[in-house]
Amino acid sequence: MSIFNLLRVRIPVLVLCSFIFFTCDDATYDLDNPNDPENMDLEPPALFFHPSEIDTKLDSSFSMQLYGLKLKPAAAAHLDIRYEYGSVQIDSVVADTFFQSLNDPFQIVDDDSSGTLDYFIYLLPDTVAEMNEGGTWSLATVYFTAISTGGSELLFGENTKLRDANNDSVAVKSFGSGFINVE
């Protein structure tokens, strides 16, 4: 058998053998996305503002989400939000997915326009569940309008708490803060 015949009839074998030389690059990565809750120095379960920093302009509207990180199952929440009065004003608050069931959640917004927002939100039980499954979800979105230039901080107040369907407290170990920079 000549060389060429030998190669011709064994080309598939040759192709297979060529894969022996195959090596590739190892995957390298940096999980450094600033919006990743793992990069926020929070101890779960936690509540934080998303995004944690906002640059905006005077008289412009913007929004911030009140986010829960790895929360236990809950049925209601009282979110005590502290903001700098005179720097921003709250336009509205909208419930998000955390307390969403087949029914829309029940919510009470109490803004005394002095720098404290008390936001109460309740999950309305349906035929499936009387409280959510917990996790990392947005609880609500707060819409602001910048009314003066400068920086102001957003904080969770001491009255912030979550309750489950049995009215037992749901633990929140840490709270994040937000910052608004108005130009």
Of 16 and 147, the one with the shorter C-beta distance to another protein is 16
- The nearest distance, CB 39 to another protein, in angstroms, is 9
Cβ contact 176:52 at 8 Å = yes
Give the binding site for another protein (CB under 8 A). Answer: 1-3, 6-7, 10, 13-29, 31, 33, 35-38, 50-51, 67, 69, 135-138
Under 8 Å CB-to-CB from 122, ≥6 apart: which residues? Answer: 75, 76, 99, 105, 106, 107
Of 68 and 105, the one with the shorter C-beta distance to another protein is 68
Burial of 130 (0-12, 13-18, 19+ CB in 10 A): middle
Dist. CA 102–CA 125, nearest whole Å:
8
- The nearest distance, CB 86 to another protein, in angstroms, is 29
Of 71 and 180, the one with the shorter C-beta distance to another protein is 71
Of 32 and 158, the one with the shorter C-beta distance to another protein is 32
- The nearest distance, CB 103 to another protein, in angstroms, is 21
Dist. CA 103–CA 82, nearest whole Å:
29
The one-character DSSP state at 47 is E
Of 2 and 166, the one with the shorter C-beta distance to another protein is 2
- The nearest distance, CB 110 to another protein, in angstroms, is 26
- The nearest distance, CB 170 to another protein, in angstroms, is 18
Dist. CA 170–CA 41, nearest whole Å:
20
Task: Work out the widest C-alpha separation in the chain, in whole angstroms.
Answer: 96
